[in-house]
Amino acid sequence: MIKPELLAPAGDEESLLCALDYGADAVYLAGKTFGMRAAAKNFDDNGLVSAVQTAHEKGVKVYITCNIVPNNDEADAFPSFIKSAEKAGVDAVIAADIGVISMIKEYAPSLDIHASTQTGVVNYRTALELYKMGVKRVVLAREVDLENIKIIRDKIPDDMEIEVFVHGAMCVSFSGRCLISEYLTGRNANRGQCAQSCRWEYYLMEQKRPGEFYKVFEDERGSFILNARDMCMIEHLGDLLNAGVTSFKIEGRAKSAYYTALTTNAYRAALDSAMKGENPPDWAIAEVDKISHRPYCTGFFYDSPKAGSGTQNPEVITNGGQYFADSNYVRKYDFVASVDCCENGVMHLTVRNFFTVNDELELVIPHKQPINFKPTVIIEENGEETDTARHAMGKITIPTDIEVPPRSLVRKKI
């Protein structure tokens, strides 16, 4: 049996370090090209070498995303890029285009190949053809339900792995193959430049009444007809394990290191519990609700999303994919500081957002349940005592007998 893997996003060095500290078995990242996330900082050649070395020192694998659909010029540039990635020591390449897959085999034969969700694999015959092409893992389309995952697992070779997304933003288009953004804004989603046009509020205009706009009502709450909920499968990892899933993937290369830390921490605890046949700890379930997110759903895993879309309550996790009231994030906590170190009864922190000693604070600690945190005083870099941390990226200290490792995080309840 292949050991289940927790796969976390690493859009930049800070996110990478958080993924490593908070329990990822593998990370996925991108170079400066070919990677489908223009909003992420990504890694240049030297940064990629350093990232791989850092991850491997902790026993964590590194997968590089090359999942754009390249034009001719990009295809010509790909061989030198993938040779450089192989030299850097990455463990696998995530690719969607058949030509890219063939070039990986030709120019970087030591690298494992993972077929991206953009490949659109929804049946075992496609998976088998990809296996013949040298693909070791398929990242199934989000549209595949549990029963069909089981069928695919039964029909493909034992050494072919299955990866699915278990948490994060969902695209209204099939497997992310979207043209709305490029059509409306000129920003190509298939090159990582998505303008999130599906999150906009839309109106209808009747042809004979130009300038008269009508809101598109799904119900009395609004008209965001394309706005997908976020996926959250933290309470259902056991079902995915039983269906034969190998790798459990968290979406979010363009999101913050704070997001990476919290999701990785929660899903690490949940996956460890699922592997023992247990439910996730209550704190891990609560943790995903403390992350900035859109209302949650379980995607296509249990039924067609339409079947569960009756409620528009943002607090309810449905299997309905659309949320029509608005496209806003549910946000209950702010990330306010990161811990640099603890020594001699003093916690050294870097400020990220405004907070005071009167705020309701929590410490997020790798591999542990968050704990309440109540400082009595804040000491600024110049030694002055205050009750308020004001300056983003400023250094402060807090006297406390609590000892936590570096990259523990402090958040406040809003």
319 within domain boundaries:
no
68 within domain boundaries:
yes
Last residue of a domain, one of 269, 297, 325: 297
* Co-location of 105 and 46 in the same domain: yes
78 within domain boundaries:
yes
DSSP annotation of 310 reads S
Answer whether residue 167 shows pLDDT above 90. Answer: yes
* Co-location of 50 and 109 in the same domain: yes
Domain range for residue 340? 333-413
Last residue of a domain, one of 297, 317, 346: 297
* Co-location of 242 and 364 in the same domain: no
Task: Please report, for the domain that includes residue 159, its CATH number.
Answer: 3.20.20.70
pLDDT tens digits, residue range 65-117? 998 888 898 899 999 999 999 999 999 999 999 999 999 999 999 999 999 99
For the chain, the average pLDDT equals 87
* Co-location of 22 and 91 in the same domain: yes
* Co-location of 104 and 163 in the same domain: yes
**Distance separating alpha carbons of residues 264 and 8, to the nearest angstrom:** 7
144 within domain boundaries:
yes
* Co-location of 41 and 157 in the same domain: yes
C-alpha dist (Å) from residue 280 to 169, 244, 288:
22, 19, 12
Which of 247-251, 302-306, 311-315 has the weakest average pLDDT?
A: 311-315
Count of structural domains within the chain: 2
322 within domain boundaries:
no
Find the mean pLDDT for residues 290-297: 87
* Co-location of 353 and 285 in the same domain: no
* Co-location of 343 and 240 in the same domain: no
* Co-location of 245 and 356 in the same domain: no
178 within domain boundaries:
no
Find the mean pLDDT for residues 201-222: 56
Q: Are 15 and 260 contacting, i.e. CB atoms less than 8 angstroms apart?
A: yes
* Co-location of 236 and 379 in the same domain: no
Find the mean pLDDT for residues 296-316: 66
29 within domain boundaries:
yes
Q: At which residue do the structure tokens 């040298």 appear?
A: 134
Q: Residues with Cβ < 8 Å from 210, sequence gap 6 or more?
A: none
**Distance separating alpha carbons of residues 287 and 267, to the nearest angstrom:** 9
Q: Are 93 and 69 contacting, i.e. CB atoms less than 8 angstroms apart?
A: no
* Co-location of 353 and 262 in the same domain: no
191 within domain boundaries:
no
* Co-location of 285 and 403 in the same domain: no
Find the mean pLDDT for residues 361-366: 97
Q: Write the DSSP assignment of 215-229 as a string of letters.
A: E--SBTTB--TT-BP
Task: Please report, for the domain that includes residue 352, its CATH number.
Answer: 2.40.30.10
